Structure 1
Amino acid sequence: MAAALVTLFVLTFAVALSTTAADPDLLQDLCVADLNSTMKVNGYPCRKRAIVDDFFSDSLAKPGAINGCRGYQTTLACVQKIPGLNTLGVSLTRIDFAPGGLNPPHTHSRATEMVHVLNGALTVGFITANGSNLFSRPIETG
């Protein structure tokens, strides 16, 4: 009888401990950036309330004014313009090129770049991390 009571106590304690130690919300739906906060750790702190405009931007719909010197213009759609992207690790960039424009060599640490040509043609490519391989090809509209 004593062994059964001890077993019951241990099981009750284990169940109670596991339910209090568990994360009450296993999935964080969103963390809209509080852009006014001075603290920045792995993104911005979450705002208490989200609004519909936190998840939309028309900034990529408009062509950028191309600088004649560089031959291209970048328009960012990042957490500063779309606060709902906070902590998702997602950003988008629109690049408008003048004929003959060149995007200088650059890196994306722990990130992926995808290219979609809206109009015209573009030669794109990348070099492997050790510099031993170049992958390049022209892409056209669409």
Structure 2
Amino acid sequence: MFIHTLFILSLLFASSHALDFCVGDLSLPPGPAGYPCKKSTSVTENDFVYSGLAAAGNTTNIIKAAVTPAFDAQFPGVNGLGLSVARLDMAVGGVIPLHTHPGGSEILVVTEGTVAAGFVSSFDNKVYYFKTLKVGDVMVFPQGLLHFQINAGKTKATAFVFFSTQNPGLQITTFALFKNDLPTEIVETVTFLDEAQIKKLKGVLGGTN
């Protein structure tokens, strides 16, 4: 009886440990719930540490900004935990255009410079919630709502953004509309822009048709 009890307890403890975490196995394709779990025997402390946010991202691009993610694909330790983080760098004049994260809500913490940020309410498409943030300020962006960040100062700006999911997803409205192969006449119909404007934006952003 005693041996039987010890066996049952060992199974319970083993099951409890197995449910503590699910480090992502990046060699396998992810599904809707994230990556399959790596075998526990191959998990190490390094799976729970990520150093990729130490360096500033490259802001020499059209938006003068960079987002460096620590999502499940970069940081397998967050797989299955419902959270992740990214670093946001913006040069002077930098902007993260209107975009949405369909997978989760976001909290932004400014660590350097000044950031103007806001989101668009889905009730009547008005930007009720717009604020210029300074170092130490925090702003939250509800899941799925269009939002943006702009470097509002005369020096570079840095922020860290935290998400309520291991992979929030990202769709930048400008890129979705103009960095694609949709025929110009379709984009014209759905945006009310004229053909010349659309072709110019497609040319700048790398779209076709």
Runs of 5+ consecutive residues of structure 1 not aligned to the other structure: 1-23
Runs of 5+ consecutive residues of structure 2 not aligned to the other structure: 1-11, 137-209
Aligned residue type for 1:97? M
CA change 1:113–1:35 in 2 (3 A) is same
1:64-114 CA distance string (max 9 Å, x none): 121242210111111122111111222211110011111110112241111
Partner SS for 2:47: helix
Deviates more, 1:98-107 or 1:125-134: 125-134
Match of 1:123 among 110, 116, 119: 116
Match of 1:48 among 39, 63, 85: 39
Higher strand share: 2
Q: How far has the Cα of 1:39 moved from its partner? A: 5.6
Aligned residue type for 1:64? G
- Using CA pairs under 8 Å that are at least 6 residues apart, name the structure with larger relative contact order, 1 or 2: 2
Return the TM-score normalized by structure 2.
0.52
- The count of aligned residue pairs is 119
Aligned to 2:140: none
1:42-81 CA distance string (max 9 Å, x none): 1111111211111111111111121242210111111122
- CA RMSD for the aligned pairs? 1.9
CA change 1:86–1:65 in 2 (3 A) is same
Match of 1:136 among 109, 130, 134: 130
State whether residues 70 and 84 of structure 2, in contact with CA within 8 Å, keep that contact through their aligned partners in structure 1.
yes
Aligned to 2:81: 88
Distance, in Å, in 2 between the alignment partners of 1:136 and 1:41 is 33
Distance, in Å, in 2 between the alignment partners of 1:98 and 1:106 is 19
Return the TM-score normalized by structure 1.
0.75
User: Looking at CA atoms only, which structure, 1 or 2, has the larger radius of gyration?
Assistant: 1
Distance, in Å, in 2 between the alignment partners of 1:81 and 1:39 is 13
